[in-house]
Chain A
Amino acid sequence: MSDTPRFDPKAATPFLTSRGHSGWLGLKYSSHGEDWVELELPWRTDLLGEEGQHVLASGPILSLMDMASGLAIWKAMDRFEPIATLDLRVDYVRPAREGAAVFGRSQCYRVTRSAAFVRGLAHDGDADDPVAHIQAVFMKIGGKDARGVPNGQ
């Protein structure tokens, strides 16, 4: 085990989204910085929010932001460890455009001994014109995670 693990969102995302809820949604790595990660949710007609309307449901955006937030926290901590969402607020400021992928960018702005605080936005191509804003708190839950995330230690 290395003393200075490097958490790499680009390597970890395909692993974490290969199955389960994230895999079902088809989440993909988009980009990242020191304390933020952006994921892509590809357009899918079976994720629409109202019969006969071509507007993405809000549930997948919540999932996208939850996942991007987790990755942003691991990036900010520079290591993978089990965390759980405590509280997540999503403000849907406008519908996403029909046929457009939605990108979820979350920034971890504070990590304490037991909690991590994030804020973020979802956009459909232009981060200056978001479709949603989020704010969330995650708790570190300790213990080992057997998933074997690349560089997760």
Chain B
Amino acid sequence: MANEPGDLGVLTPYARSLGIELAHWDEGMPVMRVAFDEAVEGRPEHYHGGATGGLLETAGYAALRAELARSGREAMLKPINITVQYLSAGKSRESFARGRITKLGRRSANITVEAWQDDPSRPIATAVMNVLMADSEG
């Protein structure tokens, strides 16, 4: 990998509980992975839209944390909104997601995220997120 991986920090309790983990770094950005098991299943043998959304959201936060760590910034992240587009059904195998910071401001960030299974160029879902960055006190 060309770039130095950023610092991801600790995953949220929610992400850990759902089984989301860091797969690898790609051009300095974390690629997150979740295995297919009952915790993510919606209709039989398919991902639940909420689980896919949780993976996308976790990858978006991970990308933002990595970017903030690289620029030596510390902030508490608060969700403003997320819009998820479901492109095709998530099948019963592991899924990946990777975020891209479209705009990093002082108080908010705009992040685009893609999730895929076998082929990164054929996403199963994409998301746009706006995240508020509150200065951590102390």
User: Which A residues are closer than 8 A to B by beta carbons?
Assistant: 19-25, 45-51, 53, 57-60, 62-64, 66-67, 82, 84-92, 95, 145-147
Q: Name, among B18, B79, B89, the residue most crowded by chain A CB atoms within 10 Å (CB to CB).
A: B79
Are A47 and B48 in contact, CB atoms less than 8 angstroms apart?
no
Are A63 and B51 in contact, CB atoms less than 8 angstroms apart?
yes
Are B12 and A50 in contact, CB atoms less than 8 angstroms apart?
yes
Are B54 and A60 in contact, CB atoms less than 8 angstroms apart?
yes
Bits for B64-77, please: 1 = Cβ < 8 Å to A, else 0.
Answer: 00000000000011
Q: How far is the CA of A53 from the CA of B75 in the complex (A)?
A: 13
Question: Which stretch of B25-33, B36-44, B96-104, B107-115 is in the interface?
Answer: B36-44
Q: How far is the CA of A145 from the CA of B43 in the complex (A)?
A: 8
Are A57 and B14 in contact, CB atoms less than 8 angstroms apart?
yes
Are B48 and A66 in contact, CB atoms less than 8 angstroms apart?
yes
Contacts A20-B38, A21-B40, A50-B76; A60 near B14 (Cβ below 8 A):
yes
Q: How far is the CA of A145 from the CA of B86 in the complex (A)?
A: 20
Q: How far is the CA of A23 from the CA of B34 in the complex (A)?
A: 18
Q: How far is the CA of A80 from the CA of B15 in the complex (A)?
A: 31
Are A89 and B83 in contact, CB atoms less than 8 angstroms apart?
yes
Q: Specify which chain B residues have a CB less than 8 angstroms from the CB of A21 in the assembled complex.
A: 38-42, 47-48, 50-51
Classify the secondary structure of A's interface with B.
mixed
Classify the secondary structure of B's interface with A.
mixed
Q: How far is the CA of A23 from the CA of B77 in the complex (A)?
A: 28
Determine the residue in chain A with the shortest Cβ distance to B50.
A63
Are B77 and A88 in contact, CB atoms less than 8 angstroms apart?
no
Q: How far is the CA of A19 from the CA of B43 in the complex (A)?
A: 10
Q: Specify which chain A residues have a CB less than 8 angstroms from the CB of B18 in the assembled complex.
A: 24, 59
Contacts A20-B38, A87-B85, A89-B82; A63 near B14 (Cβ below 8 A):
no
Q: Specify which chain B residues have a CB less than 8 angstroms from the CB of A145 in the assembled complex.
A: 43
User: Which B residues are closer than 8 A to A by beta carbons?
Assistant: 10, 12-18, 38-44, 47-51, 53-54, 57-58, 76-86, 89
Are A67 and B14 in contact, CB atoms less than 8 angstroms apart?
no
Q: How far is the CA of A53 from the CA of B84 in the complex (A)?
A: 25
Could you say which of B48, B79, B80 contacts A63, with CB atoms under 8 Å apart? B48
The 7 tightest CB contacts between A and B, nearest first, are A63-B50, A59-B54, A21-B48, A57-B14, A85-B49, A20-B41, A46-B17
CB distance from B90 to the nearest CB of A (A): 10
Are B86 and A85 in contact, CB atoms less than 8 angstroms apart?
yes
Contacts A48-B12, A51-B10; A88 near B48 (Cβ below 8 A):
no
Determine the residue in chain B with the shortest Cβ distance to A64.
B50
Are B53 and A59 in contact, CB atoms less than 8 angstroms apart?
yes
Contacts A63-B51, A147-B44; A47 near B81 (Cβ below 8 A):
no
Are A48 and B40 in contact, CB atoms less than 8 angstroms apart?
no
